Structure 1
Amino acid sequence: MSVMSPRSPEKAPPAPPFPAVPRAGRRRLRLDAEDRDVLWLYLLTRAALWTTAYGARWLFPADAGTHDPGPVLAPFERWDWGHFLNVARDGYFPAGRGPWDAEWDDREAFFPGFPLVLRAVHTVVPHWTAAGLLISFVAGGVAVLALVRVARLYLPDAGAGRRTVQVLLISPCAVFLAVGYSESLFLALALPAWLAAQRRAWPLAAVLAALATTVRVSGLFLAAAMALHFVLTARGRADWRPLPWLALPALPAVLYAWYLWARTGDWMAWKHAQERGWYRHFHAPWEAWGTTWESSFDRVLTTGYAFMFQAELLAMVVGLALAVLLVRRRRRPEAVYVGLSLWALGTSYWYQSLPRATLLWWPLWVVLAAWTLRSPRFRTAYFCLAAPLSTLFALTFLTGRWAG
């Protein structure tokens, strides 16, 4: 049976381009044995990352001669966390400050979903970093349970859901699912939205996708994939009645653009913040590839940054291969989702955050899970390569270096 194809009996007629959701998946609300195994694996990998963070404080302090490793949660307070914290604590434009100031931090480049949840949790958990970690911890648990069910849509293999979660949690950038970033919260909303879309529960799917859009702009890519799935699966007149629901996921982006316009006079303030802070001006794909290649291998940057740009190139190759595979397997909605992500991240001055974006490509983890289930050699190769890379990226982030 080919990867990413729906299950069907050996002599059954050709399966439709989208698999039917198993009835058990529709009515099962309690955790089964596979779910419990997945949650146990999830807890163990969280413990491993927290252990790595503890060791990073003691072994790799900023000052090699220090006798104080610093605060326990300091390794998690890196990079984008500062932007989320600033928005949650002070708002987007505190004390009249904004992009008109020379030292502005371009915080409006980050959608408000995660900061709003962070502010709410902070009312119960006073320590901001602990609140952010708690959000990712809970959301990550929801996400891996949803991923189990997504994997069951595509793979007939026993333990497919467990293996899909394994390959995700051991992936190179898995550290970002454990820190105070938005990836876990996005997946906790996007994966259930995709499941609801597969069941044609369009109001629920639209609401969840709208919530995902408040967290990351990738929610719009998810909405586009859902819309294509709707068109390809609608048959009778009754099937088209939920069509207006598909506009709902765009509402958070429109409202956020209106909010920024009301305070800056710029409808494109989000995009302009991305351009100022992260060089996300539009460039042709080959120009972005060329600049990233030069940054990786022409010794124009220090070795740490050059290595991470090499990871950006590899992530782009993996993403393009995945998109081609999805098109060949006639998984068009999934191909749209991945393709839009590649276009958004692959048309800047150079690539940034592509390795981290792979965490959101659930078709990638399903494909890899299928290959590891059906090829013991591939399974051994994947885990032998992914495990040290995962540790390397975790240490890079936890010690304050750029990790994509």
Structure 2
Amino acid sequence: MRSAGDRISAPETRVAGGAAGSGASSAARGTSAWGFILPVFLLSRLLFFAAGAVAVAALPGADPAGDPLNPPGFLSYWANWDGGWYSLVGAEGYGARDPESTAFFPLYPMLLSVGVRLGFGVTAWGIVLSLGFALAAMYFLYRIAEKLFDVRTARFATLALALFPTSFYLNSVYTEAPFLAFTTGCFWAAYVRRNFLLAGLLGLLAATTRNLGVLLVIPLFFEWWRLREGFGRKDVLDFLYIGLVPVGLFAYAGYLWARFGDPLVFARQQGDYWGRTLTSPDVTALAAWEAAVEGFDYITRPEMLFGGPYVGPSFAASNTMSLLFLAFLLVVIGVGAALLPPGLTLFAAFVVLLPVLTPSPSFPLMSMPRFALGTFPVFLVLGFLLARGGRFSLAWFLPSALLGVAMTALFVSWRWVA
């Protein structure tokens, strides 16, 4: 059974010569995809690594105050802020700083612990993991865009992701890279490969990486509905495979129940330790506007952002950037409603808007620029627009990359970004 969503899909054509011709065509497309993805991946990652190294050498380090976690060793500045939490849990387990450590979902720390047991430094191993996941995410994104639109759009979507201002997080000891790999891989498996078992398993991994991974049930259900041919055995099995996605969240909750007696302790820590509480969206919007106005002055005064030992200016400026990123995301998602399958539009909207319901007291939209990086449908829309934008494309990529370099410099010198 087909639905209206099929109108945005690339036509399904038969290749003359049958299966052999189809296999040759797939191999050619695969070679072409990697021939583009690998250079983009390598050059973009090198850009942010170089920016980080120069910033660490040239800028005075800020004092983050409090008790920041930061693992020792080479390239430790790529594990600042939340990266220190993931490194701590990966090296020592949740008991090192419980219960607040439970806010950090287990899959990435588990992978970090494997490297630690093999004798690798936690930061170096974390960077290797993130780079591998980032490469996978670019491949999956490329394939989705290629089928959804065309090769040109796939290339622009990959570039948009690689040079996005917060794309430097794909180099760091953060969950952005694995979450992006599992979410794009999940939809790729369902949409491109039509393999709902694989999609369900990748969705499970996404939900074990970050709680928002459970939202993948939305695009998977829409894709299942589009492809179903009735309610035969395969259709029923594919539907059941979608149910694998929340198993990742339930498994973590079960572990927490067994260890701490509270399956939702991870959610409670968002309020108890980080001050996030359920709040009306209109209250969040007003607080975000007021905080953004106060922080705007720091955006226009780089000497205060990058000079001196104080982290306060970067926190204030982040409120302005978070509101700008939210406005950008809402516009892109709105445009995407006319371009993307409805499941992807809803997925993107929920990933962006759910954090608005739980603001932090002083930073109402905290981490919004980073959350944008994990919202992969945004890059499908950007790819579509940039592929048809002519000179506008250059006007996007250059400022995007430069802003990314500036944000990298803030991050590695212990100034807050997202």
Shared fold (TM-score, shorter chain, > 0.5): yes
Deviation at 1:299, TM superposition (A): 5.8
Q: Given the alignment of the two structures, is residue 184 of structure 1 paired with residue 177 of structure 2, yes or no? A: yes
Specify whether residues 53 and 21 from structure 1 end up closer, same or farther in structure 2 by C-alpha distance, changes over 3 A only.
farther
Aligned counterparts of 2:400 and 2:52: Cα–Cα separation in 1: 19
Instruction: Identify which of 248, 251, 265 aligns with 1:252.
Output: 248
Deviation at 1:215, TM superposition (A): 1.0
Q: Secondary structure at the match of 1:248?
A: coil
Contact 1:125 1:131 in 2 (8 A): no
Instruction: Identify which of 98, 118, 124 aligns with 2:112.
Output: 118
Aligned counterparts of 2:6 and 2:243: Cα–Cα separation in 1: 29
Contact 1:152 1:161 in 2 (8 A): yes
Aligned counterparts of 1:202 and 1:17: Cα–Cα separation in 2: 21
Aligned counterparts of 1:345 and 1:123: Cα–Cα separation in 2: 35
Name 2:93's counterpart in structure 1.
91
Structure 2 length-normalised TM: 0.83
Aligned counterparts of 1:149 and 1:290: Cα–Cα separation in 2: 40
Q: What amino acid is aligned across from residue 311 of structure 1 in structure 2?
A: M
- Report the number of matched residues: 378
Aligned counterparts of 1:41 and 1:126: Cα–Cα separation in 2: 27
Deviation at 1:321, TM superposition (A): 2.0
Structure 1 length-normalised TM: 0.86
Name 1:6's counterpart in structure 2.
none
Contact 1:221 1:336 in 2 (8 A): no
Q: What amino acid is aligned across from residue 34 of structure 1 in structure 2?
A: A
Name 1:135's counterpart in structure 2.
129
Q: Secondary structure at the match of 1:278?
A: coil
Deviation at 1:186, TM superposition (A): 1.7
Specify whether residues 270 and 154 from structure 1 end up closer, same or farther in structure 2 by C-alpha distance, changes over 3 A only.
same
Specify whether residues 125 and 370 from structure 1 end up closer, same or farther in structure 2 by C-alpha distance, changes over 3 A only.
farther
Map 1:364-375 → 2, pairs under 5 A: 364-375=378-389
Q: Given the alignment of the two structures, is residue 305 of structure 1 paired with residue 315 of structure 2, yes or no? A: yes
Aligned counterparts of 2:212 and 2:399: Cα–Cα separation in 1: 28
Q: Deviations over 1:115-170 (max 9, x none)?
A: 011111223352111010110111111111111101102222x4332221111111
Aligned counterparts of 1:356 and 1:135: Cα–Cα separation in 2: 18
Deviation at 1:352, TM superposition (A): 1.6
Name 1:400's counterpart in structure 2.
414
* More divergent stretch after superposition (268-277 vs 230-239): 230-239
Q: Secondary structure at the match of 2:243?
A: helix
Name 2:273's counterpart in structure 1.
277
Aligned counterparts of 1:200 and 1:154: Cα–Cα separation in 2: 14
Aligned counterparts of 2:331 and 2:289: Cα–Cα separation in 1: 18
| Identity over aligned pairs, percent | 24
Deviation at 1:327, TM superposition (A): 2.9
Name 1:340's counterpart in structure 2.
350
Specify whether residues 108 and 21 from structure 1 end up closer, same or farther in structure 2 by C-alpha distance, changes over 3 A only.
farther
Deviation at 1:386, TM superposition (A): 0.8
Aligned counterparts of 2:12 and 2:413: Cα–Cα separation in 1: 44
Contact 1:35 1:148 in 2 (8 A): no
Aligned counterparts of 2:5 and 2:282: Cα–Cα separation in 1: 39
Deviation at 1:377, TM superposition (A): 2.6
Instruction: Identify which of 211, 233, 236 aligns with 1:241.
Output: 236
Instruction: Identify which of 185, 201, 213 aligns with 2:207.
Output: 213
Cα RMSD (Å): 2.6
Aligned counterparts of 2:410 and 2:62: Cα–Cα separation in 1: 16
Q: Secondary structure at the match of 1:262?
A: helix
Name 1:168's counterpart in structure 2.
161
Deviation at 1:261, TM superposition (A): 1.9
Contact 2:352 2:372 in 1 (8 A): no
Contact 2:37 2:138 in 1 (8 A): yes
Aligned counterparts of 2:6 and 2:357: Cα–Cα separation in 1: 36
Contact 1:136 1:179 in 2 (8 A): yes
Aligned counterparts of 2:385 and 2:258: Cα–Cα separation in 1: 50
Name 1:50's counterpart in structure 2.
49
Deviation at 1:251, TM superposition (A): 0.9
Contact 1:210 1:252 in 2 (8 A): yes
Deviation at 1:19, TM superposition (A): 4.9
Specify whether residues 22 and 58 from structure 1 end up closer, same or farther in structure 2 by C-alpha distance, changes over 3 A only.
farther
Map 1:22-37 → 2, pairs under 5 A: 27-28=26-27, 31-37=30-36
Specify whether residues 400 and 29 from structure 1 end up closer, same or farther in structure 2 by C-alpha distance, changes over 3 A only.
farther
Map 1:358-397 → 2, pairs under 5 A: 358-397=372-411
Specify whether residues 137 and 63 from structure 1 end up closer, same or farther in structure 2 by C-alpha distance, changes over 3 A only.
closer
Q: Given the alignment of the two structures, is residue 286 of structure 1 paired with residue 282 of structure 2, yes or no? A: yes
Q: Deviations over 1:356-404 (max 9, x none)?
A: 1111222211221222221223212202321221111111111111110
Contact 2:335 2:381 in 1 (8 A): no
Q: Deviations over 1:154-191 (max 9, x none)?
A: 222x4332221111111110110111111111222221
Q: Secondary structure at the match of 1:172?
A: coil
Specify whether residues 21 and 278 from structure 1 end up closer, same or farther in structure 2 by C-alpha distance, changes over 3 A only.
farther
Specify whether residues 72 and 262 from structure 1 end up closer, same or farther in structure 2 by C-alpha distance, changes over 3 A only.
closer
Q: What amino acid is aligned across from residue 179 of structure 2 in structure 1?
A: F
Deviation at 1:234, TM superposition (A): 2.2
Which segments of 5 or more consecutive residues in structure 1 lack a partner in the other structure?
1-12, 65-69, 100-105
Deviation at 1:15, TM superposition (A): 4.7
Aligned counterparts of 1:183 and 1:195: Cα–Cα separation in 2: 18
Which segments of 5 or more consecutive residues in structure 2 lack a partner in the other structure?
15-21, 64-71, 299-311
Aligned counterparts of 1:240 and 1:74: Cα–Cα separation in 2: 48
Q: Secondary structure at the match of 1:93?
A: helix
Contact 1:54 1:72 in 2 (8 A): no
Aligned counterparts of 2:37 and 2:414: Cα–Cα separation in 1: 30
